[in-house]
Each structure stands twice: as C-alpha cells, then as structure tokens.
C-alpha cells in the first residue's frame, strides 16, 4: 500500500478532472483503489468548504424591522395534496 501526501492526492484529483477518463479508468491506469480516490476527493472538498456556522436571526427581529415594508407569500404543496399558504397579509 502506497501512502500519499495530501498534495499528491490533490494532484491526482486535479489530473483526473482534467483528463478525459472516468474515475474508474483513471484509478485503474494509476493503480489507485477507486474507493480511496473517492474518500480522498471528499476530504479535499470538505477542507475547502468554509467552516462557519450560519448566522440566524430570530424571526421576531426580522419581522419587527421589515413587517411594514416587505410583503411575502409562500405556498407549499405537499405530496399528499395538502397546500400550506403563508403570507404577511393578515
């Protein structure tokens, strides 16, 4: 089993993406386990994602500032035929 550095994995991932080969073909040609390739690609993607948590505002804060200036309406149709309507109109 060959141990590869994160930089080597990134090079493999980049090379596969720019190649005309499927992941299966690329892994076979480079003697890489396909499952390992997918795992390493997922790790690289997760490392590149921002690790910040979403900033949520309490709904009363949003509505108290914007209730008189913004109107909205939402209609949600569920698979069982139930329709849920929500809006700022009373």
pTM of the entire predicted model:
0.53
Q: Report d(CA 43, CA 45) in Å as an integer.
A: 5
Nearest-angstrom CA–CA distance, 53 and 47: 15
User: What are the CA-CA distances from residue 84 to residues 59, 69, 73 (Å)?
Assistant: 19, 23, 11
For 32, which DSSP code? -
Q: What is the mean pLDDT of residues 18-34?
A: 95
8: pLDDT strictly greater than 70? yes
Q: How far apart are CA 37 and CA 86, in angstroms?
A: 46
Q: What local confidence, expressed as pLDDT, does residue 36 receive? A: 95
Residue 46 confidence (pLDDT): 83
pLDDT-derived band at 62, boundaries 50, 70, 90: low
């Amino acid at each position: 089993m060959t141990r590869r550095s994160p930089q080597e994995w990134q090079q493999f991932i980049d090379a596969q993406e720019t190649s005309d080969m499927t992941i299966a073909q690329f892994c076979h040609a480079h003697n890489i386990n396909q499952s390992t390739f997918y795992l390493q690609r997922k790790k690289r993607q997760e490392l590149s994602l921002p690790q910040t948590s979403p900033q949520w505002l309490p709904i009363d804060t949003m509505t108290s500032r914007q209730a008189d200036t913004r109107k909205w309406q939402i209609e949600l149709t569920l698979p069982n035929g139930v329709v849920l309507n929500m809006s700022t109109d009373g």
